[in-house]
Each structure stands twice: as C-alpha cells, then as structure tokens.
Amino acid sequence: MNNVAVIGSQWGDEGKGKIVDWLSSEADIVVRFQGGHNAGHTLVIDGVTYKLRLLPSGIVRKNKISIIGNGVVIDPWALLDEIEEIRSKGVMIGIDNLIISESANLILPFHKEMDEIREDAAGKAKIGTTRRGIGPAYEDKIGRRSIRVMDLISEKNLDQRLETVLLHHNAIRKGLGKNIFKKDKLKEDLLKIAPKILKFSKPVWKKIYEFKKQKKKILFEGAQGILLDVDHGTYPFVTSSNTVASAAATGSGCGPNSINYVLGITKAYTTRVGEGPFPTELKDDIGEKLGTRGKEFGTVTSRKRRCGWFDGVLVRQTIKISGIDGIALTKLDVLDELDEIKICVAYEIDGKEIDYLPAAVEDQLKVKPIYKSYKGWKSKTKGIKKLDDLPPNAKIYIKELEKFIETKISSISTSPERNDTILIEDPFKS
Ligand code: IMP
C-alpha cells in the first residue's frame, strides 16, 4: 500500500481540496506539511461548502486523523477561528482527530503587519501576497528567532523568545518609520490562547513513525503549487515555502521513502493570483469566460484569478522537478463551451524556440507561447464519471495533453462535487 503526496503542479488553486478529500476516504491520516492560512481548499460535500485554510482536508471525514506538520506556519488565532467555523457545520474536531506539531512556527500579528508594510511600499514591484504574514514568518524561522508552538508552554521562555524576535522586527519598523511593537500585550494574548493550541500539540515525527509501523495509509496534502515554490517557482513571485513533494518529508518529519506516489493536481487550463510571469495568460474574452465558468476567485483573498491556456511546457517541467507519478486533471468541464482549445507546447524567446521556462524573471516575462490548437467538444462533461462517456474531442484533448507532459493522467474531475470524478488509476494501489 502506498502513502501518497498530493501537490499542485501549477500556481496553486488547481482544485487540490476536492481531490485530497476524495482520496482521504481511503487514507487513515492526512498531513499538511507547508504553507499556512494563505492556502484555501474548498470542499463541497452533499451541498455543504467547507472552506479550509490551515486544517487538513481529512478533517471533514469521520475516523481520520489530521496532522499539521512542523513545516506549516500557524497563525494561532486564524486556526482557532477556523476550528470553530468548521465545528459550526457539525464536524467534530478534538484531540482524537487533530494533531499539531510542537515544532511548527507561529505567525504573529507583527508578521502580518510586516507583510502589509512591504507590499504597500513595493509599488509596482509588489509580489501580490495574501498579506497573511507568511513570508515574514518563514524568514524568522530561517533566522532562528521564531516562536514555535512549544514556546507557548512556559511564560518565561515565551518572554525571552518574544524579546529576541521583537528586537529584530522593531529595528526594521523603526527604520521604516513605523511604531514599535509592544511585547507585553502580545505575550498576554498568546498565553490566553496557549492551552487551546497546546492540547493538540505532539511530536508529529513520532506519531507518523508509529502510524507507518501500524501500516496506516498516509496522505500528504500540499498547499499552493510548484510554480510558487521558493526554489523552483517563478522567483521572486513565489511563496516562502517549498511546495514540491519532497517538502512533505521535511515538513512532517519522515524520510523521503515514506512517500510512494506523488499525485500532481493539474487544472485543464492555467490560473494565477498575484503578480509575476504568466506566459499563456489571456487578457481577452476567453480569459474572462474561463474565469467566470471556473469561478476563479481566490478562496482566501477573493481576488480575481488571472486565466490562460494550458501551459504544457510548465506542467512538464514541474512534473520533472517534483517527481510526479500521475496527474489528477481538474475542471475539465470549464472548457465545455469553447470552439477551440489551445495547449502551449514551446516558447519563443529572442527568435529562438525553447522547451522550458528559463530561471530569470526577465526572460520569463519575455517568452512567447507557441500553441497547438484542438477542436472544442461543445457539450457537457460536468458530472461524467466514466472515461468512455466523455465526448470524442475531450478524449483527444486529454490524450494529447498526456502525451505532451509525458505522464499518465490518473483521474479526471468533472465538477466540484466529491463523486464527480473519473478514476483511471488509484494512487494508493498503483
Ligand atoms: P504569500 O504566500 O501570501 O506570501 O504570497 C506569495 C504568492 O503566492 C502570491 O502570488 C500569492 O497570490 C500566492 N499564493 C499564496 N498562497 C496561494 C494559494 O493557496 N493559491 C494560489 N496562490 C497562492
């Protein structure tokens, strides 16, 4: 039996929530391993919509254990609000089904403020972050001055840790002409909520080891997408964590050999929120149509997503970077009404044809897509559950896409509903 890592193969928002939820019927354990409440996973179950940000998608299923790993950055207030919101929809959340790593780093209010200060000051160079404090929190983690879940246990320790981190932040704030962030009120606020967080806190690496020994099936749930990876994405227009599959191991405390199958979630077209290069972006009626039919608005920030044709060059690249074994193709039904559908098969830069996205942002902004066109199927695929029932032109599009990205498509999602999925290969069993 496999353990499976699910990751986005584009710029996030590929529809991971639905696929993870659907796969979690088979899994025993669902683990978030990076990112924070910048992620937004929407699940629609029996007509009820659940919007998850920090909680693993397994939380809405009975008899599953959800884990927030050490690689996640946690805004403790956002987490507690989310727990309450999901509980109010009738979902049970307690120490039996939620575990939080004691080593996870906290996002604190001065991180959010720093994110906003920087974005506001950057003008045209802004990243277009979710303004949740993700970047500044990861910076403090790497800078070894962060506050972690375990630091909430002792008042004395928390006081010292806050002293250290605020020394750094207040120096920058002073330089930027901002007010000094006061330690005492923050410490008081943190100590007030500490018991509510600490009750979930455990050594995650040890729990995962035990679950592995018990032959439990583990699903690692990635957030964002590979093109937002801090090393492999469209830097600097990226998030501040590693979103590739191997981050599942470091972000939860198990070896890379604990991941047996990497499932890449891929939208049948491309979207991106925030700034940065997007070679196949469509700033025309077709782009608008994709956005409207695909309901392309951010789960977290409600921002309109930029839309464009499927970029085969990019997806082929992210498949290689992250060792993706199979693709779950999502939102095929959004293309149902189009006369013509295009796939980007190469780029042109300075008169030369290239088969990958260059690393420099200046070059990424310069590349021009070279397309191959396909006839649309002009009929409804929404809700189809068998491959044979797809219209012939949809089958051609999928086959061509599969051939181009050199990786098998193991499932196809035809609506946001949990059961509207064509299963070709089960990642847990292949
Ligand atoms: P940050 O993660 O808030 O720092 O934002 C950095 C970049 O990642 C921005 O372009 C965001 O729009 C993008 N981003 C962050 N989280 C998500 C996500 O869950 N889906 C899509 N884009 C995201």
pTM: 0.96
108 within ligand 1 shell (Cβ under 6 A):
no
Cβ count near 27 (within 10 Å): 24
Give ranges for CATH 1.10.300.10 in the chain: 105-197
> How open is the CA angle 265-14-53, to the nearest 5 degrees?
110
Do residues 37 and 294 lie in contact, with contact meaning Cβ atoms separated by under 8 Å?
no
Backbone angles phi, psi at 208, to 5 degrees: -65, -40
Q: What is the four-CA torsion angle of 341, 344, 345, 348, rounded to 10 degrees?
A: 140
Residue with tokens 């066109």: 373
Does CATH place domain 105-197 in 1.10.300.10? yes
Do residues 301 and 276 lie in contact, with contact meaning Cβ atoms separated by under 8 Å?
no
Structure tokens at 388: 């044979």
Which superfamily does 266-423 belong to?
Answer: Adenylosuccinate Synthetase, subunit A, domain 3 (3.90.170.10)
pLDDT digits over 72-130, tens only? 999 999 999 999 999 999 999 999 999 999 999 999 999 999 999 999 999 989 999 99
Give ranges for CATH 3.40.440.10 in the chain: 4-101+201-258
Q: Going by C-beta distance under 8 Å and a sequence separation of 6 or more, which residues neighbour residue 58?
A: 20, 21, 24, 27, 29, 30, 64, 65, 66, 219, 221
Question: Which residue's CA is minimally distant from atom 9 of ligand 1?
Answer: 129
Give ranges for CATH 3.90.170.10 in the chain: 266-423
pLDDT digits over 178-228, tens only? 999 999 999 999 999 999 999 999 999 999 999 999 999 999 999 999 999
pLDDT digits over 9-26, tens only? 999 999 998 898 889 889
Pocket test for ligand 1, best of 13, 129, 226, 242 (most atoms within 8 A of CB): 129
- For the chain, how many residues are written? 430
40 within ligand 1 shell (Cβ under 6 A):
yes
State yes or no: pLDDT of 299 exceeds 80: no
Which superfamily does 4-101+201-258 belong to?
Answer: Adenylosuccinate Synthetase, subunit A, domain 1 (3.40.440.10)
Q: How far apart are CA 345 and CA 361, in angstroms?
A: 20
